[in-house]
Amino acid sequence: MSGDIPRILIVRFSSIGDILLTTPLVRVLRARHPAARITYVVRTDMADTLRHNPRVTEVVAWDRSAPLSGLASRLRETDWTHRLDLHGSVRSMALRQLVGGSWTGFPKHRFRRTLIIRTGRRRGGHLGHVAERYFAAAAGLDVQPDGRGAEFFFPTQAQQQADEFLNRHGLGQARTLVAVAPGAAHATKRWPLAHWEALVRRARAASDIVVVGGPGEESLGEALVEAGGGAVANAAGQFDLSGTAALLKRARVLAGGDTGVMHLATAVGTPVVALYGPGVEEFGYFPYHARALVLQKKLECRPCTSHGGPRCPLGHHRCLVDILPEEVAQALVAAPR
């Protein structure tokens, strides 16, 4: 097998940010093994994250309503030289059993993560950035981090559609374009809507603003348009991932929470002002090798969770409430270029 061209199977079902943070590994694998077959298994609703990535040979999209047995049957058709589990979930472990063969994973540090939460960061240490922990799964492939961040590729058509949207709304032509992403999958990762409205009212004097986000976040964008008037356009829910990336590419900076959209901005090279609430740097999910300013508050109750939740356990949500619109506005001006 040592003389074989590598046939590398990667499994990471979700989510957008997590998948994007695997792309530094994928990039280095392709550079080190240019002829390798790199097959990436991802959930169907996340497939756009990798669909146009030239470093991936094949994206296998799995519908989570379908049984894993069908996916496993397809994957068993290839004699993989390397099988990398970059998810480390119950579902990925089940797939490993069904596919068979030797697999490698990465350190999730579940115990240390729990220790960080329960001791308020006093114990547990820094887990290391997850983008670099993923490399542990590829230990047999002679690769090391290259010091560059995540990456995302999108077609020219997506950029054309994004530019048409901006031109139609008269944005980014004579003034700086700022992108804002008010949504988040978990409530505890969302900056208060009233703060977003105040930020928009403050920023609109000097900048044009485009609101980005996925399906279901249209109403957030509408609220910000109402607050900001003609200087704000709502693109939330109107573009797929490539279109959103193209909008972010045109922005001078993005303001957003600890979300996939924030990592998407870094992946297309746009500076970010990232608002972190329950999550802390020790978990290893801060912006990776990116032009970024992270705003956070030093509170005894942080972190309360590693992934976010439906409500603040203490009921005050101070980790994000206490980050004021004035601070974010100043950070947007000071963000690295």
Task: Report pLDDT digits (tens) over 223-273.
Answer: 999 999 889 999 999 999 999 999 999 999 999 999 999 999 999 999 999
Does residue 151 sit within a domain? no
State residue 17's pLDDT score: 97
Does residue 81 sit within a domain? yes
Residue 89 scores a pLDDT above 80: yes
Does residue 317 sit within a domain? yes
Give percent above pLDDT 90 in the chain: 97
Residues 76, 165: one domain? no
Residues 70, 208: one domain? no
- Give the mean pLDDT of 270-284: 97
Which structural domain range is residue 235 located in?
A: 157-334
Residues 81, 189: one domain? no
Three-state SS for 134? helix
State residue 4's pLDDT score: 82
Residues 113, 167: one domain? no
Residues 176, 304: one domain? yes
CA distance 140 to 158: 37
pLDDT-based confidence at 3, cuts 50/70/90?
A: low
State residue 229's pLDDT score: 87
Task: Report pLDDT digits (tens) over 181-212.
Answer: 999 999 999 999 999 999 999 999 999 999 99
The whole-model pTM stands at 0.96
Give the end of a domain, one of 138, 172, 191. 138
Does residue 293 sit within a domain? yes
Task: Report pLDDT digits (tens) over 282-330.
Answer: 999 999 999 999 999 999 999 999 889 999 999 999 999 999 999 999 9
Residues 230, 117: one domain? no
Does residue 57 sit within a domain? yes
Using CA atoms, how far residue 187 sits from 195, 273, 299, 320, 331, in Å, is 15, 19, 18, 11, 23
Task: Report pLDDT digits (tens) over 41-59.
Answer: 999 999 999 999 999 999 9
Q: Give the residue among 65, 92, 77, 109 at the shortest CA–CA distance from 10.
A: 92
The count of domains in the chain is: 2
CATH number for 185:
3.40.50.2000
Give CA 260 to chain center in angstroms. 3
- Give the mean pLDDT of 143-165: 98
| CB 181, CB 256: distance < 8 Å | yes
Place of tokens 């922005």: 251
Residues 100, 198: one domain? no
Q: Quickly list DSSP for 271-331.
A: -EEEE-SS--GGGS-S--SS-EEEE----TT--S-SS--SS-TTS--HHHHTS-HHHHHHH
Residues 53, 121: one domain? yes
Beta strand residue intervals within the chain, DSSP E? 7-11, 37-43, 58-62, 82-85, 176-181, 207-211, 232-234, 253-257, 272-275, 292-295
Residues 124, 213: one domain? no
Residues 82, 175: one domain? no
Residues 224, 327: one domain? yes
Mean pLDDT taken over the chain: 97
Residue 2 scores a pLDDT above 60: no
Task: Report pLDDT digits (tens) over 204-227.
Answer: 999 999 999 999 999 999 999 999
Using CA atoms, how far residue 95 sits from 12, 16, 310, 328, in Å, is 11, 20, 29, 43
Neighbours of 203 (CB within 10 A): 23
Place of tokens 């040979």: 57
CA distance 307 to 223: 26
Does residue 316 sit within a domain? yes
Residues 174, 126: one domain? no
